[in-house]
Amino acid sequence: MSDSPLVGVVMGSSSDWDTMKHAADILAEFGIAFEARVVSAHRMPDDMFAYAEAAATRGLQAIIAGAGGAAHLPGMLAAKTVVPVLGVPVASRHLQGVDSLHSIVQMPKGIPVATFAIGNAGAANAALFAVAMLAHHDAALRERLHAYRVRQTEVARAMTQDLQG
Ligand code: RP5
């Protein structure tokens, strides 16, 4: 694994980590060099802008950004970099993440944020999407992604066999 991170996993608070670690776990499983950081949009806006502005020159190929509530982190990062931003709505206490989803998915035309499902599945899928992006130029990684899909198929087929048990 290269030392330089290819993917940034960022979040608004350490309380988002229980969700965002599902992205980190997938990246680790595929051997993708990544970094995980808290970059709060409203509590450390200058740091957030600095992170976004340095992303391309640091070699980041994708930023997976998770946030909850008025989840402006993915959109604000996307406003400051052309590195693709993959947004993960984190489940909030009062509105269960529907607020986070709407905040992230409803970007006005011109600044896209690829938006995933609320919670753990969204975090994992954002990482799998980043893997697919990187695999476009990496045949070995593409093979590992195919193998991952094959394993999922085998697990799903085994479910039917269990029913006939
Ligand atoms: C957002 O506020 C974070 O992304 C987190 O989901 C939410 C709550 O943050 P904490 O109060 O747990 O630090 O900025």
Report which residue type is found at 6: L
Least confident among 18-32, 112-126, 129-143, 151-165: 151-165
> pLDDT for 46-100, tens place per residue?
999 999 999 999 999 999 999 999 999 999 999 999 999 999 999 999 999 999 9
ipTM of the complex: 0.97
Q: For a substitution probing ligand 1, which of 11, 14, 15 has the most ligand atoms within 8 Å of its CB?
A: 15
Distance CA 49, CA 58 (A): 14
Q: Is-contact 40 70, C-beta < 8 A?
A: no
68 within a domain of the structure (yes/no): yes
22 within a domain of the structure (yes/no): yes
Instruction: Please state whether 87 falls in left (phi above 0), alpha (psi between -120 and 50) or beta.
Output: beta
150 within a domain of the structure (yes/no): no
Give the DSSP H/E element, type plus range, for residue 34: strand 34-38
Q: Is-contact 129 116, C-beta < 8 A?
A: yes
- CB of 74 within 6 A of ligand 1: the answer is no
Please tell me the distance between residue 65's alpha carbon and the centre of ligand 1 in angstroms. Answer: 13
158 within a domain of the structure (yes/no): no
Q: What is the pTM of this model?
A: 0.96
**Residue 162 pLDDT level (bands cut at 50, 70, 90):** confident
Strands 114-115 and 7-11: unpaired
> pLDDT for 23-51, tens place per residue?
999 999 999 999 999 999 999 999 999 99
Q: Into how many domains does the chain fold?
A: 1
Residue 80 domain boundaries: 7-138
Please tell me the distance between residue 144's alpha carbon and the centre of ligand 1 in angstroms. Answer: 34
3-state secondary structure 38-56: ECCCCCCHHHHHHHHHHHC
156 within a domain of the structure (yes/no): no
Q: Is-contact 58 4, C-beta < 8 A?
A: yes
Residue 1 reports pLDDT greater than 50: no
pLDDT of residue 165: 59
Q: Domain containing 108 — which CATH number? A: 3.40.50.1970
Residue 2 reports pLDDT greater than 60: no
Annotated binding residues for substrate, as ranges?
13, 16, 43
